[in-house]
Amino acid sequence: MKVLSVVGARPQFVKAAVLSRALARHGIQECSVHTGQHYDDNMSDVFYRQLRMVAPAYMLDVGSAGHGAQTGEMMRRLEPIVEAEHPDWVIVYGDTNSTLAGALVAAKAHVHVAHVEAGLRSFNRAMPEEINRIVTDHVADAHFVPGENARAQLQREGILEHVYVVGDLMIDLAREVLAQLPARPPILDRFGLESKRYALATIHRASNTEKETFTPIVAGLRRLPGRVLFPVHPRTRPLAEALGLGQGDNITLSEPLPYLEMIALQRHACGVLTDSGGVQKEALVAGTPCTTLREETEWVESLEGGWNVLAGSDPERIAGAGMRPAPETPLGGIFACDSGCAERIVRALLETARLPSRR
């Protein structure tokens, strides 16, 4: 079997790092394509170094652009690669423009599509990611869902075959990394942080990087009762500088931080505030309460027991929830699932190798 993996953004590098190891263990040939959707070193290349990933066979270097232009350019550059490599499967991850481009090119080339992290829905079609998820799920041939909620959602949409409940690759890797952390990771000394005495914030979604939304979020962060470390996404930096973040307030700005450092910071934070789906999961695996800077989340299991709360851009909700104590109720759902997601995905791919060729 030969697979072609399409990645382009931080959470996809994390997922692919775990799955690539399992593919290699089972003798499955993998060819990786990096679309270049994330191209900053701390959001791209550092993941390959820290997670010991094999360098991608193809770098598309698409970079930033509007959604249509970016997706279209990815498809234009990806199509000849799929035709030349002739894989049995194209594997796509999550919900980015890279996900959609890989799925559409493969489907049109009559190559089987495997969607890792299928079945998630925010039910907010104003989010570009929601459109990407829905379309990808409906052209995919195999759907690897993290839990029963996602499986049930696909069933409601009429997707009944080749749906596999496998767990979550990001949760598995976070557990692995957390088990190896030193008692006091060096990243705390770099920023002069005391364990459980600070909050960690990330903001990157388009809806939150408009001035009318970003400004009240910042007001909420400034009202938190402790320091806030804020690794700034390139999209967010102009707004952060315009509002004077880090100048005489409780917020410390930094460049985007590598994966291992982010996991350590989440473990030792009192609270994590984010609009990232991946960071929501990582925070909870680290045992740290999360405050989601959105009005909805795809990870509905995270809301159980109050581990994750939705604050949107409301300063009062952000200030009230951002550094709250951890709940006593243990996490359930996908957070209680056994590790081994990658092995379950590979076994399912091998079982579905008998699917009729699309060609």
For residue 54, the model assigns a pLDDT of: 84
Which superfamily, per CATH, for 185-336?
Glycogen Phosphorylase B; (3.40.50.2000)
| Per-residue pLDDT tens over the stretch 26-43 | 999 999 999 987 655 555
Place of tokens 């909420």: 220
Is the pLDDT confidence value at 4 over 90?
A: yes
Domain with CATH 3.40.50.2000 in the chain: 2-167+340-354, 185-336
Whether the Cβ atoms of residue 7 and residue 98 lie closer than 8 Å to each other: yes
Average pLDDT over residues 330-350: 94
Q: What is the mean pLDDT of the chain?
A: 94
* Integer Cα distance of 152 and 348 in angstroms: 19
Whether the Cβ atoms of residue 274 and residue 283 lie closer than 8 Å to each other: yes
* Integer Cα distance of 144 and 167 in angstroms: 8
| Per-residue pLDDT tens over the stretch 56-95 | 999 999 987 888 999 999 999 999 999 999 999 999 999 9
Cβ contacts of residue 268 below 8 Å, gap of 6+?
185, 188, 193, 195, 196, 198
Is the pLDDT confidence value at 279 over 60?
A: yes
For residue 63, the model assigns a pLDDT of: 82
Known catalytic membership, residue 233: no
Catalytic position from the list 115, 143, 204, 268: 204
* Integer Cα distance of 288 and 355 in angstroms: 43
Confidence category of residue 356, pLDDT binned at 50, 70, 90: low
Which superfamily, per CATH, for 2-167+340-354?
Glycogen Phosphorylase B; (3.40.50.2000)
Confidence category of residue 359, pLDDT binned at 50, 70, 90: low
DSSP letter at 100 equals H
* Integer Cα distance of 358 and 107 in angstroms: 9
For residue 271, the model assigns a pLDDT of: 98
Nearest 5 degrees, angle CA 338-CA 341-CA 343?
A: 115
| Per-residue pLDDT tens over the stretch 231-254 | 998 889 999 999 999 999 999 999
| Per-residue pLDDT tens over the stretch 144-201 | 999 999 999 999 999 999 999 999 999 999 999 999 999 999 999 999 999 999 999 9
For residue 191, the model assigns a pLDDT of: 98
Is the pLDDT confidence value at 350 over 60?
A: yes
Is the pLDDT confidence value at 112 over 80?
A: yes
Confidence category of residue 1, pLDDT binned at 50, 70, 90: very high
Dihedral in degrees, nearest 10, Cα atoms 247, 249, 251, 254? 10
3-state secondary structure labels for all residues of 190-259: HHCCCCCCEEEEECCCHHHCCHHHHHHHHHHHHCCCCEEEEECCCCCHHHHHHCCCCCCCCEEEECCCCH
* Integer Cα distance of 71 and 62 in angstroms: 9
For residue 307, the model assigns a pLDDT of: 97
**What are the helix and strand counts (H, E) for the chain?**
14, 13
